[in-house]
Amino acid sequence: MTRAGTDRQPWTATVLTLFPEAFPGLLGSSLAGKGLERDLWRLETLDIRGFARDKHRSVDDTPFGGGAGMVMRPDVVGAAVEASAESPGPLVYLSPRGRTFDQAMAREFAEEPGLRLLCGRYEGIDERVLEASGAREVSIGDYVLSGGEVAAQVVLDAVVRLLPGVMGNEASGGDESFEGDLLEYPHYTRPAEWQGRSVPEVLLSGHHERVRQWRRARAEDITERRRPDLWHRYLERRRTGGNEEG
Ligand SMILES: C[S@@+](CC[C@H](N)C(=O)[O-])C[C@H]1O[C@@H](n2cnc3c(N)ncnc32)[C@H](O)[C@@H]1O
């Protein structure tokens, strides 16, 4: 059961960050932005610096044990995390050490009442805050960003488009990449002839079943060539009867 048709409050993102001005950023544009305006989802920010207590409002300090860079202080970040406790959803710490974000995780997050997204800076956050809060660590890929804000926006973009009403039907169908472990088939639009290249004949045929079969075959081709990891999962699923088609 999705969240559609319930009378709960809209799916709510609460972002804990040193850069609240970075939000909504791109999430304020396009259909996600319209969704925000229409209260289909909500976005709140908690400024971590607001929890600093010394006269310099410092949020970081040098690492015990030495080494380069600074670490976000547990007393400051811990207080921000506590202040977010009433906000809906699990606490996610954006971190290169986390489990890699994927479409299945996006769907799982869309089923929650919201998410609390903790954005690190510097070398990251004192480990004790992560232990004490039970934050789930999520990475957006095997590279190091300078802060969690861009990562939080990536996660939110992928989740928000799955919420009822935000994208109309576009994101709800089963055809998008990663649905059923396949990448998507190629798309074409008018003109039917462009720079000597024509659109595959079958797409002009008006024959829905042939179009469906052609798309499925192209999706399989592309997945097999580009993503052996997905392809093997797809074959396994088919072998055990987990695919609707095939
Ligand atoms: C410079 S990074 C810290 C990297 C950390 N010292 C390490 O090597 O794992 C600062 C912050 O950016 C965010 N970040 C960096 N790369 C990320 C990624 N791939 N996915 C999610 N968040 C990331 C995290 O919030 C992190 O605390």
Closest Cα to atom 20 of ligand 1: 139
How far does residue 18's CA lie from ligand 1's centre (Å)? 14
Q: Which class does domain 179-239 fall in?
A: mainly alpha
| Per-residue pLDDT at 107 exceeds 60 | yes
- pLDDT band (50, 70, 90) for residue 17: very high
Closest Cα to atom 15 of ligand 1: 145
- 211 close to 200: Cβ distance less than 8 angstroms: no
How far does residue 69's CA lie from ligand 1's centre (Å)? 13
- pLDDT band (50, 70, 90) for residue 8: confident
Q: What is the pLDDT of residues 116-130, one digit of tens each?
A: 999 999 999 999 999
Q: Which class does domain 11-160 fall in?
A: alpha beta
- 167 close to 161: Cβ distance less than 8 angstroms: yes
| Average pLDDT over every residue of 8-15 | 95
| Per-residue pLDDT at 190 exceeds 50 | yes
- 38 close to 90: Cβ distance less than 8 angstroms: no
Cβ 88 under 6 angstroms from ligand 1: no
Rounded CA separation 158/185 (Å): 20
Predicted TM-score (pTM) above 0.75:
yes
Residues of the chain with CATH 3.40.1280.10: 11-160
To the nearest whole number, what is the mean pLDDT of the chain? 94
Most distant CA atoms of the chain, gap in Å = 72
Which parts are annotated binding residues for S-adenosyl-L-methionine?
120, 140-145
- 92 close to 136: Cβ distance less than 8 angstroms: yes
How far does residue 157's CA lie from ligand 1's centre (Å)? 19
pLDDT of the residue at 176: 84
